[in-house]
């Protein structure tokens, strides 16, 4: 008996993603991004994203089928991100998935975006280690999750109380005059900078904060500290060493993220840490997490960068897992639920 052939659709933010998997094997991962259309606004504009999804949906489905060498009629199931995300953007994906499900007579699986970010790792490293601790860091979320069984949901241990990690990267990049989205640019600039040049604050790590926010994050104070530092330098007529600021800022973010992830893993007795979301592409975060985890006898799994950012393959991966574990499909009145946990 073959593993199920599943098509997954992701439209929660600005990427129209259509992926096709057979079980744990990735066959196609087509992504159309509207990121360039948002660049001049310095952030994602919901109405622009919805319209772009609508235009990209059919061509992206066709491209995925072509790459995978499958016809729509070959599919065993359709999976789609039902939330959380931008309401209008989600709606385009959910409506498209329902149309395919009805037209093909194949089951529909609505999946949680965060759980899909976790499930994608099995396309690269095989079956998920369950239970595991997942750290999802992107432009929209920064969460620590306990994953007992990825098909029944993920259990939030903590999250950011203000900006998401990726948002902090994007805002600091803007301060430094780097293009949007800023994460990759900071990563590159930091490579030639000194990470201990400036001692930026580590949010929610004081003894008092840890009492209430042990597994939560805060990045807005860090962003403000960078803004103040840049201002002070400019007022003094000094030139800003972009590489040093980038490296010191990045060090502060990665330090807090890995510290709290390791603490959460130790507290819940899990030996595997999985990192996902766009910021998981960060080279310093990967290196620091692997190094610190190894020192504690823990393992770290990070999918390759292309699978960390939003894509359809992650949705297909979770859909295939739901089918393989015999979970019930969604009803055809599946709502697009923007505020899903
Ligand atoms: O997962 P993603 O594609 O979309 C969501 O936000 O859900 O993540 C995008 C975020 C952006 O904020 C981007 O700046 C950040 O991931 N990012 C990075 C890197 N590559 C992407 N942040 C730090 N270092 C990177 N190499
Ligand atoms: Zn995401």
Tell me the per-residue pLDDT of 106-138, one tens digit each, with 9 for 90 and over. 999 999 999 999 999 999 999 999 999 999 999
Is residue 330 domain-resident?
no
Is residue 42 domain-resident?
yes
Whether residue 116 is found in the same domain as residue 38: yes
Four-point Cα dihedral 128, 129, 132, 133, nearest 10: -60
Confidence of residue 41 (pLDDT cuts 50, 70, 90): confident
- pLDDT tens across 163-216, in order? 999 999 999 999 999 998 899 999 999 999 999 999 999 999 999 999 999 999
Please give the DSSP secondary-structure letter assigned to residue 238: P
How far is ligand 2, taken at its centre, from the CA of residue 276, in Å? 8
Asked if pLDDT for residue 37 goes beyond 80, the answer is: no
Mutational pocket test of ligand 1: of 159, 278, 310, the residue with most ligand atoms within 8 Å of the beta carbon: 278
Q: Which of 230, 204, 233, 207 is nearest to 219 (CA)?
A: 204
> CA angle 260-263-269, nearest 5°?
140
Is residue 329 domain-resident?
no
pLDDT value of residue 47: 87
Mean pLDDT of 230-242: 94
Whether residue 181 is found in the same domain as residue 282: yes
Is residue 145 domain-resident?
yes
Is residue 337 domain-resident?
no
| Rg (the chain; Cα; Å) | 20
Q: Which of 59, 62, 56, 65 is nearest to 20 (CA)?
A: 65
d(CA 134, CA 141): 12
d(CA 147, CA 131): 5
Is 339 annotated for ligand binding?
no
Whether residue 285 is found in the same domain as residue 315: no
Confidence of residue 244 (pLDDT cuts 50, 70, 90): very high
Asked if pLDDT for residue 54 goes beyond 70, the answer is: yes
Which ligand is nearest to the Cα of residue 10, counting in written order? Answer: 2
Is residue 336 domain-resident?
no
Mean per-residue pLDDT over the chain, rounded = 95
How far is ligand 2, taken at its centre, from the CA of residue 238, in Å? 38
Mean pLDDT of 270-280: 96
Whether residue 165 is found in the same domain as residue 286: yes
Whether residue 86 is found in the same domain as residue 168: no
Asked if pLDDT for residue 63 goes beyond 90, the answer is: yes
> What 3-state class would DSSP assign to 191?
coil
Mean pLDDT of 225-229: 97
Structure tokens at 307: 């699978």
Mutational pocket test of ligand 1: of 29, 89, 116, 139, the residue with most ligand atoms within 8 Å of the beta carbon: 139
The total number of structural domains that make up the chain:
2
pLDDT value of residue 35: 77
Ligand 1 pocket residues where CB is under 6 Å? 13, 138-140, 166, 169-170, 181-184, 187, 277-279, 281-282, 309-310
Q: Is 110 in contact with 80 (CB distance < 8 Å)?
A: yes
Q: Is 182 in contact with 222 (CB distance < 8 Å)?
A: no
- CATH number of the domain to which 200 belongs: 3.30.420.40
Whether residue 279 is found in the same domain as residue 319: no
Whether residue 81 is found in the same domain as residue 153: no
Whether residue 169 is found in the same domain as residue 69: no
Whether residue 281 is found in the same domain as residue 134: yes
Domain span holding position 248: 130-302
d(CA 114, CA 117): 5
- Interhelix angle 220-235/242-267, nearest 10 degrees: 160
How far is ligand 2, taken at its centre, from the CA of residue 254, in Å? 18
Residue nearest to atom 14 of ligand 1 (CA): 183
Mean pLDDT of 91-117: 97
> What 3-state class would DSSP assign to 275?
strand
Is residue 87 domain-resident?
yes
pLDDT value of residue 80: 98
Strands 77-83 and 5-10 turn out to be: parallel
Whether residue 80 is found in the same domain as residue 51: yes
Q: Which atom of ligand 1 is nearest to the CA of 308?
A: 1
Which of 30-34, 52-56, 105-109, 251-255 shows the lowest per-residue confidence on average (mean pLDDT)? 30-34
325 exposure class (CB count in 10 Å sphere: 0-12, 13-18, 19+) = exposed
Asked if pLDDT for residue 71 goes beyond 70, the answer is: yes
Whether residue 57 is found in the same domain as residue 160: no
Whether residue 141 is found in the same domain as residue 238: yes
How far is ligand 2, taken at its centre, from the CA of residue 232, in Å? 35
d(CA 92, CA 9): 10
Is 166 annotated for ligand binding?
no
How many CA within 13 A on the CB side of residue 254?
26
Residue nearest to atom 22 of ligand 1 (CA): 183
Asked if pLDDT for residue 45 goes beyond 90, the answer is: no
Asked if pLDDT for residue 304 goes beyond 90, the answer is: yes
Is residue 338 domain-resident?
no
> What 3-state class would DSSP assign to 132?
strand
Confidence of residue 1 (pLDDT cuts 50, 70, 90): low
Asked if pLDDT for residue 148 goes beyond 80, the answer is: yes
């Amino acid at each position: 008996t073959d593993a199920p052939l599943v098509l997954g659709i992701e439209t929660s933010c600005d990427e129209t993603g259509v992926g096709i998997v057979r079980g744990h094997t990735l066959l196609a991962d087509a992504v159309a991004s509207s990121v360039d259309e948002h660049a001049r606004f310095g952030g994602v504009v919901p109405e622009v994203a919805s319209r772009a999804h609508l235009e990209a949906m059919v061509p992206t489905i066709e491209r995925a089928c072509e790459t995978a060498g499958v016809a729509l009629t070959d599919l065993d199931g359709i999976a789609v991100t039902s939330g959380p995300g931008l309401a209008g953007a989600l709606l385009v994906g959910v409506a498209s998935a329902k149309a395919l499900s009805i037209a093909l007579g194949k089951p529909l699986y609505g999946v949680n975006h965060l759980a899909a970010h976790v499930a994608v790792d099995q396309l690269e490293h095989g079956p998920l280690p369950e239970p595991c601790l997942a750290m999802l860091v992107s432009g929209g979320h920064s969460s620590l999750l306990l994953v007992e069984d990825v098909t029944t949901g993920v259990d939030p241990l903590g999250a950011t109380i203000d900006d998401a990690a990726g948002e902090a990267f994007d805002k600091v990049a803007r301060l430094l005059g780097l293009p949007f989205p800023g994460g990759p640019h900071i990563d590159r600039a930091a490579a030639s900078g000194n990470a201990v040049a400036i001692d930026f604050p580590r949010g929610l790590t004081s003894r008092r904060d840890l009492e209430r926010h042990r597994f939560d994050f805060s990045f807005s104070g860090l962003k403000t500290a960078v803004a103040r530092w840049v201002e002070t330098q400019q007022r003094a007529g000094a030139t800003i060493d972009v590489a040093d600021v980038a490296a010191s800022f990045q060090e502060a973010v990665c330090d807090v993220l890995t510290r709290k992830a390791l603490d959460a893993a130790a507290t819940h007795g899990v030996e595997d840490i999985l990192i996902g979301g766009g910021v998981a592409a960060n080279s310093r975060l990967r290196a620091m997490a692997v190094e610190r985890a190894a020192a504690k006898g823990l393992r770290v799994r990070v999918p390759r960068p292309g699978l960390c950012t939003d894509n359809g393959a992650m949705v297909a991966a979770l859909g295939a897992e739901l089918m393989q574990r015999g979970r019930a499909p969604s009803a055809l009145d599946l709502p697009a639920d923007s505020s899903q946990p």
